Amino acid sequence: MDPDVQQAVAFHGHMCPGLAIGVRAARYGLREIGSHAQDEEVVALVETDMCAVDAIQSLMGCTFGKGNLIHKDYGKSAFTLYRRSNGKGVRLVTRPDAFGPRDPADDEVGKRVREGKGSAEEHESFRELQARRTELILTRAEDELFHIEPVPSGPPQPARIHRSLTCEDCDESTMETRTRRFGGRTLCIPCFERAEVRA
């Protein structure tokens, strides 16, 4: 097995088309903007929480803990990769046909399998379909997988360390920038949302 794929699978737990998309995005990023020579040098802004992000984490060294993995919950299979030292960035957006032609019958089988309703034959058919899609993604040209464009602006600012405040409802320590004021009290976001519902 290819070393990049092996590393991504070890991190993610299994191989699938989504992970393959992440492997290809990470390879492109590593080639075009370079590897993570030091912590936080390379930044990934991802617009999805799908399997692909695990490949980007494992191959590019981008993590939430280091502050160089930023998740924007837009539901798009899109990845913007930056290098801090020179400001170079590229955005890759997965093309709608990257996984191959869509077949409504395949989609229905996949739905049944994910819901735990598929027969043994449907499970096998779905496994074979996923393997074909994965192989297609790992071998297609990059411009057949992604819309690729340079990013004119530089990377986001490095992660900042903020002081913590204690929520006056639940007594849990909360990053200052994530607190809200309600009724003259400092609240964490969950307690603020509950207070709004009660008000």
pLDDT at 188: 92
Instruction: Give the per-residue pLDDT at 123.
Output: 83
Angle in degrees, 0-180, between the axes of helices 3-12 and 52-60, rounded to the nearest 10: 120
pLDDT single digits (tens) 99-137:
888 878 778 888 888 888 878 888 888 888 889 999 999
Buried b (16+ CB within 10 A) or exposed e, 30-61: bebbeebeeebbbbbbbbbebbbbbbbbbbbb
Q: Where are the alpha helices (DSSP H) in the chain?
A: 3-12, 17-33, 52-60, 104-114, 120-139, 142-145, 189-198
Asked if residue 83 and residue 180 are part of one domain, the reply reads no
Q: Contact at 8 Å (CB) between 62 and 36? A: yes
Segments of the chain with pLDDT less than 70: 36-38, 159, 199
**Are 54 and 145 found together in one domain?**
yes
Instruction: Determine the residue type at 157.
Output: Q
In this predicted structure, what is the pLDDT of residue 195?
Answer: 86
144 and 178 share a domain? no
Q: What is the pLDDT of residue 109?
A: 81
Q: Supply the pLDDT for residue 84.
A: 86
Residues 92 and 187 grouped into a single domain: no
Q: How far apart are CA 176 and CA 172, in angstroms?
A: 12
170 lies in a domain? yes
Whole-number Å distance between alpha carbons of 103 and 91? 28
Residues 146 and 185 in one domain: no
Domain CATH for 69 = 3.30.1330.130
Q: What's the confidence (pLDDT) of residue 36? A: 67
Nearest CA-CA partner of 22 in 97, 98, 117, 122: 98
The answer to whether residue 49 sits within a structural domain is yes
- Bridge partners, 42 (sequence order): 83
- What's the total number of domains in the chain? 2
Domain membership of residue 186 as a residue range? 164-198
Using the 3D structure, point to which of 150, 172, 188 is the last residue of a domain: 150
45 assigned to some structural domain? yes
CA angle, residues 167, 168, 172, in degrees to nearest 5: 35
Residue 187 belongs to a domain: yes
Burial of 94 (0-12, 13-18, 19+ CB in 10 A): buried
Supply the pTM of this predicted model. 0.79
Any domain includes 63: yes
